[in-house]
Amino acid sequence: MNPERLAAAVMLVALTFGAGLQVDREHLKAILRNFGLTGRALLANFVIVPLLGVIIVRLFRLPAPIATGFLVMAVAPGVPFVLASVRKRGGSLGFAVALAFFLPLLSIVTVPATAALVLPTAAKAELPMTKFVMTLVLFQLLPLLIGIVVGGRAPGFAAKAGRPLQFIFFAAAIILIALLVPAIARALAAIYGSGGIFAEFCLVVLSLGTGWLLGGPRSEDRRVLAIGTALRNIGLGALIATSSFSQPDVAAAVITYFVIQFIISTIAGAYFTRTAQRVPA
């Protein structure tokens, strides 16, 4: 495994293992009873955002490698860091836990299927589907399930592990960016010149708005779904880009998407924190 893929794998494992540690069965049961909210969350993340991604790619006429990285992020939901400071932001902890569990779990099936539908033709030919599915199972599904088991048996450890896992994730992300600096520097000009950065900005903002609109009448649910829909799975996106595609523009598009979604979600989170009323989750 090359250093870039190793760093991306560490990012994804830290994300999904951390999600598993936070799973609470009572929270999941409560959310599952709300079929409307759960259904809208799945609709937003698995259907609407990928569809918006395809529309934006066509509107901006993005070059195939940049469109590939862009669409990889569009089809990959499930960032467990939606749990971070959820109460501080006035969000529903139970709903955040459910998103952090269900989105990575279901994306094991949805991401390969959606990628086969929306990626450019050349990218589909380059993406080995069997290897892709195995990567999802090994680096996303297994850490998620292990985290659930460990969290259920060692709640004290689960409560303390969140911050170290975030540190591991960001350290791996910094290492990955450092390893890709030469390729990213060469590709950024192409991304900027093609309108790729503005396209990514548009999709993140539209994703945020989609989550807010579909979050239902409770503001605490809208806050969680807005952030949870805007944040795509950078760990998975980076792993796919570094292990399946040879063009540096694909990884560069993924990294720039990560930076843009981080900035926008941070601004939105700060606004939610400022306006939130403390309510029970």
Residue 148 has pLDDT above 70, yes or no: yes
Averaged over 153-163, what is the pLDDT?
A: 84
Chain segment 254-267, per-residue pLDDT in tens: 888 988 998 998 89
Name the band, by pLDDT with cuts 50, 70 and 90, for residue 88: low
Do 57 and 67 meet the contact criterion of CB atoms below 8 Å apart?
yes
* Domain presence at residue 150: yes
The pLDDT value given to residue 58? 94
Among 125, 136, 17, CA closest to 81: 17
Choose between 34 and 70: higher pLDDT: 70
Amino acid identity for residue 27 in this structure: H
The pLDDT value given to residue 281? 44
Among 65, 77, 57, CA closest to 118: 57
Chain segment 15-56, per-residue pLDDT in tens: 888 877 877 666 666 666 777 888 999 999 999 999 999 999
The crossing angle, in degrees rounded to 10, of helices 248-275 and 64-74 is: 40
Do 244 and 128 meet the contact criterion of CB atoms below 8 Å apart?
yes
Give the domain extent around 261: 3-274
Averaged over 87-99, what is the pLDDT?
A: 69
The pLDDT value given to residue 190? 65
* Domain presence at residue 281: no
Among 13, 9, 214, CA closest to 95: 214
* Domain presence at residue 279: no
Tell me, what CATH number does 197's domain have?
Answer: 1.20.1530.20
Choose between 60 and 91: higher pLDDT: 60
To the nearest whole percent, how much of the chain has pLDDT over 90? Answer: 21
Do 47 and 117 meet the contact criterion of CB atoms below 8 Å apart?
no
The total number of structural domains that make up the chain: 1
The pLDDT value given to residue 89? 67
- Out of 58-72, 162-176, 197-211, 265-279, pick the least confident: 265-279
Residue 81 has pLDDT above 60, yes or no: no
CA distance 226 to 112: 24
Average pLDDT of the residues of the chain: 82
* Domain presence at residue 64: yes
Averaged over 230-250, what is the pLDDT?
A: 84
Averaged over 143-148, what is the pLDDT?
A: 86
Helices (H), 195-218: 196-213
- Out of 98-112, 121-135, 216-230, 238-252, pick the least confident: 121-135
Do 246 and 271 meet the contact criterion of CB atoms below 8 Å apart?
no
Handedness of CA 217, 269, 110, 18 (dihedral sign): negative
Averaged over 149-170, what is the pLDDT?
A: 85
**3-state SS of 163-201?**
HHHHHHHHHHHHHHHHHHHHHHHHHHHHHHHHCHHHHHH
